[in-house]
Amino acid sequence: MGSLKTMSGGLLLGLCLTLLGWGAEGQWNGRPKKEISGSGPINLGQQQRGTWWPLMQTRENLTEVKSIKSMFQFRTFDPEGVVFYGDTREGEDWFVLILRNGIPEMQIGKADILVSVQGGPKLNDGKWHLVEISSQGDFVVLEVDGQKGLVVGLKSKETVEVLTGQIRLALGGILVSLDKLLIPFQPEMDGCIQKGNWLNLSTPWETEMIGEPWPCYQNIQPGSYFPGAGLAAFNTTDLPGHQTEESGITIDIHGDSTKMEGTVLSLKTSGQELPTVTVKINNDPKKVILTILKRDTVTEQSFSRLSLTLLKNQVNMDIDDTHLTFEIDNIPDFPRSWKEGMILAFGGLPGDGVSYSSIQYLKGCLEKIQVQGQDVDLDRALYKDLSISSHSCPSEV
């Protein structure tokens, strides 16, 4: 999922593109740099999608470095993404800590050696974990909650002990080019860092983040959070549902509808100006509005699960235990259009941004989004507004 794809998605949807400003690896893009404390809290979800550039970074002369250890608290529900990066010799020797399937993974490049190791506990349980990384001679050691997670030994005739030059540290991205990685990964990380201590340095960090640093919510729960400022859109060809003809395509949404307001989802055929199917929630008084073409069906009910099944000339909607069936002649053959590629948006109406007002953006938490019974990861969307947290919702408890 490169930035090119993201960009075409953005252009296609007629949405404002902030991604264009992101330059190539190793290059500031001219956006003003700001100083920021490295001790946090730092919300890594604030990083622009489709970019590998770090959210923030710092550098220090190695002669100033007295400690060998960096430690921080980390919390996420996101299974995959980049957390912490460090290098010396301007990226000649580097390491990166990522999560994959929720498990820590380190990739290290040093002289002629490239290694990747994975292990330790799953970290994406939404709880704070203490993560410590230290460089001890020929070894890099990762500890989680005081327990040894990973120990990597590296030795080559070509490794040189570096005592001069600078060390660079980065969060939420990397400073080497992608082709140096042993195994590629998806960079986006919806996670938070706090109480960071980076080699015991007090050097300020630099960031190009837009606006104020985002807070980290006190409590989080799994889900995708839409604060009412934007949508996430998929091309249905990137989603499951290409085999089934008879049983149709099923989209499931889990969440407390009494705490939602706005457009939950909309489905649009290319070339059509209006969405073909839209589901909206209104809570004053509570109702679910299903629009098929221009026809509205209002159900005065709340739900914890809404299921939409798209068949040829038929749409079924299940709101908890209420089953509704709509047979319409002039709607598209959904299973076929799905295979050809429709736009499925969550949290808003994909349009030209002018004809649809922003009050229709969803405000609320979708605890689970599934297509054909499989979880939909918003980090893999064609387009996702920066405001949306793909893997966490604020929670009250």
Ligand X SMILES: *[C@@H]1O[C@H](CO)[C@@H](O)[C@H](O)[C@H]1NC(C)=O
Question: Which residues contact ligand X by CB under 6 A?
Answer: 12, 61, 64, 66-67, 200, 235, 237, 270, 341, 343
- The one-letter amino acid at 122: K
SS3 215: coil
Task: State CA 277 to chain mean position distance.
Answer: 26
Cα(73)–Cα(51) distance, rounded to whole angstroms? Answer: 24
Residue 7: phi, psi to the nearest 5?
-70, -45
Residue 45: phi, psi to the nearest 5?
-65, -10
- 134, 140 in Cβ contact below 8 A? yes
SS3 285: coil
CB of 11 to ligand X, least distance (A): 10
Which lies closer to ligand X via its Cβ, residue 38 or residue 255? Answer: 38
Q: What is the DSSP letter of 21?
A: G
Which lies closer to ligand X via its Cβ, residue 215 or residue 341? Answer: 341
Which lies closer to ligand X via its Cβ, residue 77 or residue 234? Answer: 234
Cα(371)–Cα(162) distance, rounded to whole angstroms? Answer: 51
CB of 139 to ligand X, least distance (A): 18
Contacts for 59 with CB less than 8 Å, ≥ 6 apart: 166, 167, 168, 169, 203
CB of 138 to ligand X, least distance (A): 21
Task: Tell me how far CA of residue 264 lies from CA of 126, 195, 277, 373, in angstroms.
Answer: 24, 36, 11, 18
CB of 339 to ligand X, least distance (A): 9
- 318, 354 in Cβ contact below 8 A? no
Which lies closer to ligand X via its Cβ, residue 216 or residue 239? Answer: 239
User: Shortest CA distance to 32 belongs to which of 211, 194, 172?
Assistant: 211
In the block, residue with structure tokens 């489905």: 267
Tell me how long the chain is.
397
CB of 61 to ligand X, least distance (A): 4
CB of 165 to ligand X, least distance (A): 8
Contacts for 381 with CB less than 8 Å, ≥ 6 apart: 9, 232, 233, 234
Using CB positions, name the residue nearest to ligand X.
341
Residue 234 token pair: 């998929």
CB of 270 to ligand X, least distance (A): 4
Which lies closer to ligand X via its Cβ, residue 264 or residue 345? Answer: 345
Longest CA pairwise span in the chain (Å): 75
240 cis-preceded (ω within 30 degrees of 0): no
Report the alpha-carbon angle 345-232-7, nearest 5: 110
Which lies closer to ligand X via its Cβ, residue 12 or residue 289? Answer: 12
Which lies closer to ligand X via its Cβ, residue 61 or residue 322? Answer: 61
- The one-letter amino acid at 152: V
User: Shortest CA distance to 6 belongs to which of 397, 396, 389, 382?
Assistant: 382
Which lies closer to ligand X via its Cβ, residue 65 or residue 289? Answer: 65
Which lies closer to ligand X via its Cβ, residue 165 or residue 228? Answer: 165
Which lies closer to ligand X via its Cβ, residue 69 or residue 180? Answer: 69
